A and B are shown apart, each in its own frame.
Chain A
Amino acid sequence: MKTNPLSMQLKLDPEDFLPATNDEKESLVIMRDSVSFWKDGLRRLLKNKIAMISLFFIVVIMIFSFIVPGFYPYRYEQQIKGSENLSPMTYSEEELAKKEAGEDVFPHFLGTDKLGRDYAIRVMMGSRISLIVGLVAAAIILVIGSLFGSVAAFFGGWVDLIMMRLVDIIYTIPDILLIVLLSTVLEDPLKSLATQPGFGWVQKLGAKLISIFIVFALLYWVGMARMVRSQILTLKESEYVTAAKALGAKNGRIIKKHLLTNCIGTLIVTTTLQIPSSIFTESFLSFLGIGVAVPMPSLGSLAGTAINGFQTYPYLLFIPAVLISLIILSFNLFGDGLRDAFDPKLKN
């Protein structure tokens, strides 16, 4: 038997050749903490700087659009006579006179528009509308889309076939047409509805904005439905669901434990990413003048109105334009962060 000379160079102790105890052995095994899906995802999300900055920005925008207007000295529809077309941080002659007299005049941070309305409050209200549109539309799409998709996937066969054919047809209908037609159809019924007690908000939102919601509900859930359907179809076929069935798990348990937990990450992510795309669509419609009703502003309609005089007052256009881009950007980035954290399957 030849022995490697190396072993002779080591100073060995007979002690070393005694059997090791179990404790000694175990001290070597470094087990990584096992963390739950949510905890692990949350940890990854919190570590994602870009997503956190985006979330921070979204929160700031929310504060400005939902809380600040509550105590802001100007109202969005308030027309201040003599203060038309003021540049940011300037005052009209009347306001200057008031200041001379020692009165407090709240500055127009972003100037005023051509009707003398404070632009800062209008931008805040515009952001509020855009955010509401995004959130409500995402919620509508989530509910309708996931219900439709899961029903189609669960029943399969000809039910699935007909439902998916319907989805194809809906895909083809021009949305602009439907929005314009619906808003005209709904104008009268909504007006009479608004006179009912408790429905005053209908008047405020306007028929067009409500039509936009209805059109979102009617048309835009198809993408979500397709995604949920394919997700459930794949999951239904997956080995671990078969394994759970083979072990005698009840349907309820399979749905709760396997289908839902595996779907929910994708659902959250898709819904979050739906928010910016709804905001996108609303701003586009409002820019064309078929969105929110005057005097209610949205970021899209502010930009759309500003385009007429933008050679003289470019900031009236730039402020809502940049803001809407930033809102969409931060929702996109936050959604990407969510996806990376909770849905590693989609990650790339």
Chain B
Amino acid sequence: MIKYILKRLVMAIVTIFVVATLTFFLMNTVPGGPFTAEKSISEQARKNLEAKYGLDKPIMQRYVTYITDALHGDFGISLKQRGRTVSSIIATKFPVSAKIGGISVLVALILGIPLGCIAALNRGKILDNIIIVLATFGIAVPGFVVCTMLLYFLGVKLQVLPTTFGDGSWTHFIMPVLSIAFYPTAYIARLMRSSMLDVLGQDYMRTAKAKGVSQFVSLFKHALRNAVLPVVTYVGPMLAYTITGSFIVEKVFTIPGLGREFISSVLNRDYTMIMGTTIFLASLMVFINVLVDIVYTIIDPRIKLK
């Protein structure tokens, strides 16, 4: 087990390294640089700026410097938000995104799993059909549509909820969380329904019933733990994506999160910011995947980590 985790961690670090290298070279082969867009500054000023951030040096040298610094935990200074380190920007923006994302994932799980179970248990009945229809609509409506509809009806027409993120009190969380949780809720409900139906047809469910186990216990003890496995697989990467911030939702509700920061850094060619956020996102992805695998072995003893 420990050997396996160590092996996975080494793999994870290799993956992050490959992603970082790819990003670095891809980014730097793109013509133009972070300061070419700013027409207000003179040629000389631009050169000075580039020299200051070491952009005038050959690419291999910059790469080596960057990686060595990164290994020491130094991700450099943002090229656009001058004077601020990349780490400190991520440290201030990430908690906002993570909080909204985390709550959304929780909401999606709390709503999606029971909905899927209810549908499966009422297979073919009205309740099942209602849930299927809702879930099918749910996965067909893009996030930006959900966002803007919520904003229009709840924020503008009824004016019950604030349209911007503002100070971030709990009412400001409702619409962003609903927008982000919308798709995963529908997806989890569908996933849960089909895997629940699969499990309910398994022989061991019949064994449980033949033992005299009540429907409630057989559902919660025997079925749920088996049926939830596909959901775990889905929730892992979804969690990684969600807590790093939804680009759309952060744009629409003007939330100062990491997702928006990432988009603007890409559009502004803020090299160090791009590198920092990419490495951060990739690390989060791979580590959550390792975590999912470990959770898997806890739920399903058949899976042996080798």
The reply to whether A and B meet directly (CB within 8 Å) is yes
B252 engages A321 (CB within 8 Å): no
A180 engages B267 (CB within 8 Å): yes
| Proximity string of chain B (23-48) to chain A, C-beta cutoff 8 Å, 1 when within and 0 when not | 10011011110000000000000000
Task: Please tell me if A184 contacts chain B, counting CB pairs below 8 Å.
Answer: yes
B26 neighbours in A (Cβ, 8 Å): 178, 181, 185
B140 engages A276 (CB within 8 Å): yes
8 A Cβ contacts from B264-290 to A: 266-267, 274, 278, 281-282, 285-286
Bound-state CA distance A332–B29 (Å) is: 39
A-B contacts, CB under 8 A, total:
105
Residue of B nearest to A276 (CB): B140
Query: Assuming the A-B contacts A180-B267, A184-B30, A329-B136, are A172 and B285 also in contact, with contact meaning beta carbons closer than 8 angstroms in the complex?
Result: yes
Residue of A nearest to B281 (CB): A174
Report 10 cross-chain contacts, Cβ distance below 8 Å, ordered by A residue.
Answer: A168-B15, A171-B285, A174-B282, A177-B266, A185-B26, A303-B145, A307-B148, A317-B152, A321-B142, A325-B145
B19 engages A173 (CB within 8 Å): yes
Task: Please tell me if A247 contacts chain B, counting CB pairs below 8 Å.
Answer: no
Query: Assuming the A-B contacts A177-B23, A177-B274, A321-B148, are A284 and B142 also in contact, with contact meaning beta carbons closer than 8 angstroms in the complex?
Result: yes
A348 neighbours in B (Cβ, 8 Å): 193-194, 197-198
Task: Please tell me if A314 contacts chain B, counting CB pairs below 8 Å.
Answer: yes
Bound-state CA distance A348–B247 (Å) is: 34
B136 engages A332 (CB within 8 Å): yes
- Known A169-B15, A314-B152, A325-B140; further 8 A-B contacts with Cβ < 8 A: A171-B237, A177-B23, A280-B142, A284-B144, A288-B248, A288-B251, A322-B145, A348-B198
Residue of A nearest to B145 (CB): A321
8 A Cβ contacts from A283-335 to B: 283-284, 287-288, 300, 303-304, 307, 310-311, 314, 317-318, 321-322, 324-326, 328-329, 332-333
* B148 nearest CB across to chain A (Å): 6
Task: Please tell me if A188 contacts chain B, counting CB pairs below 8 Å.
Answer: yes
A263 neighbours in B (Cβ, 8 Å): none
B15 neighbours in A (Cβ, 8 Å): 168-169, 172
Task: Please tell me if B22 contacts chain A, counting CB pairs below 8 Å.
Answer: yes
A185 neighbours in B (Cβ, 8 Å): 26, 29-31
B266 neighbours in A (Cβ, 8 Å): 176-177, 180-181
A288 neighbours in B (Cβ, 8 Å): 247-248, 251, 263
| Proximity string of chain B (129-168) to chain A, C-beta cutoff 8 Å, 1 when within and 0 when not | 0000000110111111100110010001000000000000
Interface size on B, residues (CB 8 A): 44
B145 neighbours in A (Cβ, 8 Å): 303, 321-322, 324-325
| Proximity string of chain B (243-255) to chain A, C-beta cutoff 8 Å, 1 when within and 0 when not | 0000110011000
Complex partner residue of A324 from B22, B23, B31, B142, CB under 8 angstroms: B142
Task: Please tell me if B18 contacts chain A, counting CB pairs below 8 Å.
Answer: yes
Complex partner residue of B143 from A173, A276, A284, A322, CB under 8 angstroms: A284
Task: Please tell me if B296 contacts chain A, counting CB pairs below 8 Å.
Answer: no
B94 neighbours in A (Cβ, 8 Å): none
Main secondary structure of the interface of B (DSSP, over half): helix
A326 neighbours in B (Cβ, 8 Å): 140
Main secondary structure of the interface of A (DSSP, over half): helix
* B146 nearest CB across to chain A (Å): 9
B19 engages A169 (CB within 8 Å): yes
Please classify how large the interface on chain A is, using the bins under 10, 10 to 19, 20 to 34, 35 or more.
35 or more
B248 engages A173 (CB within 8 Å): no
| Proximity string of chain A (179-195) to chain B, C-beta cutoff 8 Å, 1 when within and 0 when not | 01100110010000000
B136 neighbours in A (Cβ, 8 Å): 329, 332-333, 336
A173 neighbours in B (Cβ, 8 Å): 19, 22-23, 282
Task: Please tell me if B262 contacts chain A, counting CB pairs below 8 Å.
Answer: yes
B198 engages A329 (CB within 8 Å): no
A310 neighbours in B (Cβ, 8 Å): 148, 152
Bound-state CA distance A113–B139 (Å) is: 29
B140 engages A304 (CB within 8 Å): no
Bound-state CA distance A328–B139 (Å) is: 9
Identify the 3 closest CB pairs spanning chains A and B, nearest first.
A329-B140, A348-B194, A321-B145
Query: Assuming the A-B contacts A177-B23, A284-B142, are A317 and B148 also in contact, with contact meaning beta carbons closer than 8 angstroms in the complex?
Result: yes
Complex partner residue of A283 from B144, B247, B274, B285, CB under 8 angstroms: B144
A332 engages B140 (CB within 8 Å): yes
B30 engages A181 (CB within 8 Å): yes
* A311 nearest CB across to chain B (Å): 6
A283 neighbours in B (Cβ, 8 Å): 142, 144
Query: Assuming the A-B contacts A284-B142, A317-B148, A325-B145, are A307 and B252 also in contact, with contact meaning beta carbons closer than 8 angstroms in the complex?
Result: yes
A314 neighbours in B (Cβ, 8 Å): 152
Among A180, A184, A185, A287, chain B packs the most CB atoms within 10 A around the CB of A287
B247 neighbours in A (Cβ, 8 Å): 176, 288
Residue of A nearest to B149 (CB): A321
B152 neighbours in A (Cβ, 8 Å): 310-311, 314, 317
B286 neighbours in A (Cβ, 8 Å): 172
Complex partner residue of B139 from A171, A287, A324, A332, CB under 8 angstroms: A332
Residue of A nearest to B196 (CB): A348
* A219 nearest CB across to chain B (Å): 12
Query: Assuming the A-B contacts A185-B30, A329-B137, are A311 and B156 also in contact, with contact meaning beta carbons closer than 8 angstroms in the complex?
Result: yes
Residue of B nearest to A303 (CB): B144
Bound-state CA distance A300–B144 (Å) is: 9
B193 neighbours in A (Cβ, 8 Å): 348
8 A Cβ contacts from B10-26 to A: 15-16, 18-19, 22-23, 26
B18 neighbours in A (Cβ, 8 Å): 169
A172 neighbours in B (Cβ, 8 Å): 15-16, 19, 282, 285-286
B16 neighbours in A (Cβ, 8 Å): 172
A177 engages B278 (CB within 8 Å): yes
